[in-house]
Protein backbone atom coordinates (compact mmCIF):
# COMPACT_ATOMS: atom_id res chain seq x y z
CA UNK A 1 0.00 0.00 0.00
CA UNK A 2 1.36 3.40 -0.97
CA UNK A 3 2.35 5.63 1.93
CA UNK A 4 0.15 8.63 2.64
CA UNK A 5 1.39 12.22 2.54
CA UNK A 6 0.02 15.26 4.31
CA UNK A 7 0.55 18.85 3.27
CA UNK A 8 0.73 20.08 6.88
CA UNK A 9 3.17 17.45 8.09
CA UNK A 10 5.25 18.53 11.10
CA UNK A 11 8.23 16.82 12.76
CA UNK A 12 6.87 17.91 16.18
CA UNK A 13 3.34 16.47 15.96
CA UNK A 14 1.71 13.05 15.73
CA UNK A 15 0.86 13.03 12.04
CA UNK A 16 -1.50 10.03 12.17
CA UNK A 17 0.62 7.79 9.95
CA UNK A 18 1.25 10.41 7.32
CA UNK A 19 4.82 10.82 6.11
CA UNK A 20 6.72 13.96 5.16
CA UNK A 21 5.80 15.21 1.65
CA UNK A 22 8.41 14.72 -1.02
CA UNK A 23 10.35 17.81 -2.07
CA UNK A 24 11.84 18.51 -5.48
CA UNK A 25 15.31 17.68 -4.18
CA UNK A 26 14.00 14.32 -2.90
CA UNK A 27 12.46 13.50 -6.26
CA UNK A 28 15.41 14.74 -8.34
CA UNK A 29 18.61 14.17 -6.36
CA UNK A 30 20.63 14.62 -9.55
CA UNK A 31 19.97 18.37 -9.32
CA UNK A 32 22.83 18.50 -6.82
CA UNK A 33 25.37 20.54 -8.84
CA UNK A 34 28.28 18.70 -7.24
CA UNK A 35 26.97 15.48 -8.79
CA UNK A 36 25.13 16.53 -11.94
CA UNK A 37 27.38 19.14 -13.51
CA UNK A 38 30.81 17.61 -13.59
CA UNK A 39 33.51 19.10 -15.76
CA UNK A 40 34.13 15.99 -17.87
CA UNK A 41 35.24 17.52 -21.20
CA UNK A 42 38.50 19.32 -20.74
CA UNK A 43 40.85 21.24 -23.04
CA UNK A 44 40.37 22.83 -26.48
CA UNK A 45 42.33 25.39 -28.53
CA UNK A 46 41.73 27.40 -31.72
CA UNK A 47 44.08 29.53 -33.84
CA UNK A 48 43.04 31.71 -36.80
CA UNK A 49 45.39 32.44 -39.72
CA UNK A 50 45.15 34.54 -42.85
CA UNK A 51 43.44 31.77 -44.85
CA UNK A 52 42.95 28.91 -42.39
CA UNK A 53 41.75 28.04 -38.90
CA UNK A 54 43.07 25.29 -36.62
CA UNK A 55 40.79 23.87 -33.90
CA UNK A 56 42.10 21.19 -31.55
CA UNK A 57 41.04 19.28 -28.44
CA UNK A 58 42.28 16.29 -26.50
CA UNK A 59 40.23 13.08 -26.56
CA UNK A 60 40.26 12.27 -22.84
CA UNK A 61 36.97 12.48 -20.92
CA UNK A 62 37.43 12.14 -17.18
CA UNK A 63 35.88 12.92 -13.83
CA UNK A 64 37.99 13.27 -10.73
CA UNK A 65 40.80 10.72 -10.95
CA UNK A 66 38.81 8.39 -13.22
CA UNK A 67 39.16 8.29 -17.01
CA UNK A 68 35.76 7.57 -18.56
CA UNK A 69 37.05 7.18 -22.11
CA UNK A 70 40.23 7.93 -24.04
CA UNK A 71 38.54 8.34 -27.44
CA UNK A 72 35.96 11.10 -27.00
CA UNK A 73 35.81 13.84 -29.64
CA UNK A 74 35.09 17.34 -28.32
CA UNK A 75 34.97 18.87 -31.81
CA UNK A 76 31.72 19.25 -33.75
CA UNK A 77 31.35 20.33 -37.38
CA UNK A 78 28.46 22.81 -37.56
CA UNK A 79 28.81 23.86 -41.22
CA UNK A 80 31.27 23.47 -44.10
CA UNK A 81 33.34 26.41 -42.78
CA UNK A 82 32.44 26.33 -39.07
CA UNK A 83 33.72 23.99 -36.35
CA UNK A 84 33.06 24.16 -32.61
CA UNK A 85 35.12 22.71 -29.78
CA UNK A 86 33.63 22.55 -26.29
CA UNK A 87 34.75 21.87 -22.76
CA UNK A 88 32.47 21.42 -19.75
CA UNK A 89 29.64 19.04 -18.88
CA UNK A 90 29.34 16.39 -21.57
CA UNK A 91 25.53 16.09 -21.57
CA UNK A 92 25.08 19.86 -21.89
CA UNK A 93 27.65 19.96 -24.69
CA UNK A 94 25.70 17.29 -26.61
CA UNK A 95 22.40 19.09 -26.04
CA UNK A 96 23.91 22.35 -27.30
CA UNK A 97 25.31 20.66 -30.41
CA UNK A 98 21.91 19.13 -31.25
CA UNK A 99 20.18 22.49 -30.73
CA UNK A 100 22.61 24.26 -33.06
CA UNK A 101 22.31 21.52 -35.70
CA UNK A 102 18.50 21.78 -35.68
CA UNK A 103 18.52 25.58 -35.95
CA UNK A 104 21.11 25.48 -38.72
CA UNK A 105 18.95 23.01 -40.65
CA UNK A 106 15.99 25.40 -40.37
CA UNK A 107 18.22 28.23 -41.62
CA UNK A 108 19.26 26.16 -44.65
CA UNK A 109 15.64 25.41 -45.54
CA UNK A 110 14.72 29.09 -45.28
CA UNK A 111 17.74 30.60 -47.07
CA UNK A 112 19.01 27.77 -49.31
CA UNK A 113 22.55 28.19 -48.05
CA UNK A 114 24.70 27.39 -45.04
CA UNK A 115 25.53 29.89 -42.32
CA UNK A 116 28.82 31.72 -42.46
CA UNK A 117 31.08 31.36 -39.44
CA UNK A 118 30.28 34.87 -38.07
CA UNK A 119 26.55 34.12 -38.43
CA UNK A 120 27.03 30.81 -36.61
CA UNK A 121 28.91 32.71 -33.90
CA UNK A 122 25.90 34.98 -33.37
CA UNK A 123 23.53 31.99 -33.32
CA UNK A 124 25.67 30.29 -30.67
CA UNK A 125 25.70 33.47 -28.59
CA UNK A 126 21.90 33.81 -28.81
CA UNK A 127 21.42 30.14 -27.91
CA UNK A 128 23.63 30.39 -24.83
CA UNK A 129 22.06 33.69 -23.72
CA UNK A 130 18.55 32.26 -24.08
CA UNK A 131 19.52 29.66 -21.45
CA UNK A 132 21.25 32.15 -19.16
CA UNK A 133 19.03 31.45 -16.11
CA UNK A 134 19.80 27.71 -16.28
CA UNK A 135 22.82 27.77 -18.60
CA UNK A 136 24.48 25.09 -20.61
CA UNK A 137 27.60 24.15 -18.63
CA UNK A 138 29.67 24.39 -21.81
CA UNK A 139 32.61 26.64 -22.64
CA UNK A 140 33.09 26.91 -26.37
CA UNK A 141 35.48 28.08 -29.05
CA UNK A 142 34.12 28.43 -32.57
CA UNK A 143 36.50 28.53 -35.52
CA UNK A 144 36.32 28.62 -39.29
CA UNK A 145 36.49 30.97 -42.27
CA UNK A 146 34.53 34.20 -42.68
CA UNK A 147 32.91 35.39 -45.91
CA UNK A 148 36.26 36.88 -47.03
CA UNK A 149 38.05 33.57 -46.57
CA UNK A 150 40.01 34.72 -43.52
CA UNK A 151 40.38 32.54 -40.46
CA UNK A 152 38.25 33.52 -37.47
CA UNK A 153 38.00 32.35 -33.88
CA UNK A 154 35.22 33.24 -31.44
CA UNK A 155 35.55 32.53 -27.73
CA UNK A 156 32.61 32.30 -25.31
CA UNK A 157 31.60 32.16 -21.70
CA UNK A 158 28.71 30.01 -20.48
CA UNK A 159 26.00 32.66 -21.02
CA UNK A 160 26.85 33.79 -24.54
CA UNK A 161 29.28 36.69 -24.19
CA UNK A 162 31.72 36.31 -27.06
CA UNK A 163 34.59 37.99 -28.85
CA UNK A 164 36.43 37.49 -32.12
CA UNK A 165 40.09 36.83 -31.40
CA UNK A 166 43.17 35.47 -33.13
CA UNK A 167 43.46 32.48 -30.81
CA UNK A 168 41.81 31.08 -27.70
CA UNK A 169 41.78 28.14 -25.30
CA UNK A 170 39.08 26.75 -23.01
CA UNK A 171 38.98 24.12 -20.30
CA UNK A 172 41.21 22.85 -17.54
CA UNK A 173 44.40 23.17 -19.59
CA UNK A 174 43.71 26.72 -20.78
CA UNK A 175 45.64 28.33 -17.90
CA UNK A 176 48.71 26.42 -19.06
CA UNK A 177 48.21 26.94 -22.79
CA UNK A 178 47.20 30.62 -23.02
CA UNK A 179 50.51 32.02 -21.69
CA UNK A 180 52.38 30.07 -24.38
CA UNK A 181 50.02 31.31 -27.11
CA UNK A 182 50.33 34.88 -25.82
CA UNK A 183 54.10 34.61 -25.98
CA UNK A 184 54.24 33.03 -29.44
CA UNK A 185 51.43 34.85 -31.24
CA UNK A 186 51.23 38.30 -29.60
CA UNK A 187 47.75 39.15 -30.88
CA UNK A 188 46.97 42.90 -30.76
CA UNK A 189 44.42 44.10 -28.23
CA UNK A 190 40.93 44.62 -29.72
CA UNK A 191 40.75 47.88 -27.73
CA UNK A 192 43.57 49.53 -29.71
CA UNK A 193 42.71 52.10 -32.38
CA UNK A 194 42.97 51.87 -35.29
CA UNK A 195 41.81 48.26 -35.12
CA UNK A 196 44.33 45.65 -36.27
CA UNK A 197 43.72 42.29 -37.86
CA UNK A 198 43.46 39.54 -35.22
CA UNK A 199 44.77 36.71 -37.40
CA UNK A 200 48.08 35.15 -36.43
CA UNK A 201 51.23 35.50 -38.58
CA UNK A 202 52.01 31.77 -38.62
CA UNK A 203 51.62 29.53 -41.63
CA UNK A 204 49.16 26.65 -41.42
CA UNK A 205 51.88 24.07 -40.78
CA UNK A 206 53.49 26.24 -38.09
CA UNK A 207 50.13 26.68 -36.34
CA UNK A 208 49.54 22.91 -36.33
CA UNK A 209 53.01 22.33 -34.89
CA UNK A 210 52.38 24.96 -32.20
CA UNK A 211 49.10 23.28 -31.23
CA UNK A 212 50.88 19.94 -30.87
CA UNK A 213 53.56 21.55 -28.70
CA UNK A 214 51.14 23.32 -26.33
CA UNK A 215 49.09 20.16 -25.82
CA UNK A 216 52.23 18.13 -25.14
CA UNK A 217 53.23 20.74 -22.56
CA UNK A 218 49.78 20.92 -20.93
CA UNK A 219 49.61 17.13 -20.67
CA UNK A 220 52.69 17.15 -18.43
CA UNK A 221 50.93 19.31 -15.82
CA UNK A 222 47.19 18.71 -16.21
CA UNK A 223 45.91 15.23 -15.32
CA UNK A 224 42.61 15.90 -17.14
CA UNK A 225 44.31 16.42 -20.52
CA UNK A 226 45.89 13.57 -22.43
CA UNK A 227 45.66 10.41 -24.57
CA UNK A 228 45.40 12.05 -28.03
CA UNK A 229 44.92 15.47 -29.55
CA UNK A 230 42.43 15.79 -32.40
CA UNK A 231 43.33 18.64 -34.78
CA UNK A 232 40.85 19.99 -37.33
CA UNK A 233 42.15 22.31 -40.06
CA UNK A 234 39.64 24.47 -41.96
CA UNK A 235 40.80 26.14 -45.18
CA UNK A 236 39.53 26.89 -48.68
CA UNK A 237 39.94 23.24 -49.62
CA UNK A 238 37.60 22.04 -46.87
CA UNK A 239 38.08 20.36 -43.51
CA UNK A 240 40.67 17.75 -42.60
CA UNK A 241 41.60 16.02 -39.34
CA UNK A 242 44.88 14.95 -37.81
CA UNK A 243 45.66 13.04 -34.62
CA UNK A 244 48.73 13.06 -32.40
CA UNK A 245 49.34 10.86 -29.37
CA UNK A 246 49.79 12.40 -25.92
CA UNK A 247 50.63 10.94 -22.54
CA UNK A 248 48.19 8.27 -21.43
CA UNK A 249 48.84 8.34 -17.67
Q: What is the pLDDT of residue 201?
A: 83
Tell me the sheet residues that pair with 82: 79, 144
Q: Determine how β-strand 162-165 pairs with β-strand 167-170.
A: unpaired
Q: What are the pLDDT tens digits along the chain (249 aa)? A: 445 555 555 555 555 555 555 554 454 444 444 444 566 668 999 999 999 999 999 999 888 888 888 999 999 999 999 999 999 988 999 999 999 999 999 999 999 999 999 999 999 999 999 999 999 999 999 999 999 999 999 999 999 999 999 999 999 999 999 999 988 887 666 667 776 666 788 899 999 999 999 999 999 999 999 999 999 999 999 999 999 999 988
Coil vs helix vs strand at 230: strand
For residues 127 and 96, is the Cβ–Cβ distance under 8 A?
A: yes
Closest CA to 163 of 149, 171, 153, 177: 153
pTM: 0.81
Q: Which tens digits make up the pLDDT trace of 86-118?
A: 999 889 999 999 999 999 999 999 999 999 999
> How far is the CA of 63 from the CAs of 4, 36, 40, 181, 194, in angstroms?
40, 12, 5, 27, 45
* Residue 194 confidence (pLDDT): 73
pLDDT of residue 7: 52
Domain range 39-245, CATH class: alpha beta
* Residue 84: how many other CB atoms lie within 10 Å: 28
Question: CA 83 from chain center: how many Å?
Answer: 11
The pLDDT assigned to 42 comes to: 81
Cβ atoms of 49 and 202 within 8 Å: the answer is yes
C-alpha 151/C-alpha 200 separation (Å) is 9
The pLDDT score that the predictor gives to residue 24 is 43
CA distance 70 to 85: 17
Phi, psi (degrees; rounded to nearest 5) at 80 = -65, -25
pLDDT of residue 108: 95
Query: CA-to-CA distance for 238 and 220, rounded, in angstroms?
Result: 33
The predicted pLDDT at position 26 comes to 53
Amino acid sequence: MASKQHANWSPYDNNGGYEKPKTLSDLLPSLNPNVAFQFSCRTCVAIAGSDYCVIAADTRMSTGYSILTREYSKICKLADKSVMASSGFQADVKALQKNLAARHLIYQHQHNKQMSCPAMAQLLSNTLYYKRFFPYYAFNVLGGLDIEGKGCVFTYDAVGSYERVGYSAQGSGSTLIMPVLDNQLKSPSPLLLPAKDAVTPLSEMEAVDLVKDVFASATERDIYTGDRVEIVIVNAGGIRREYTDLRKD
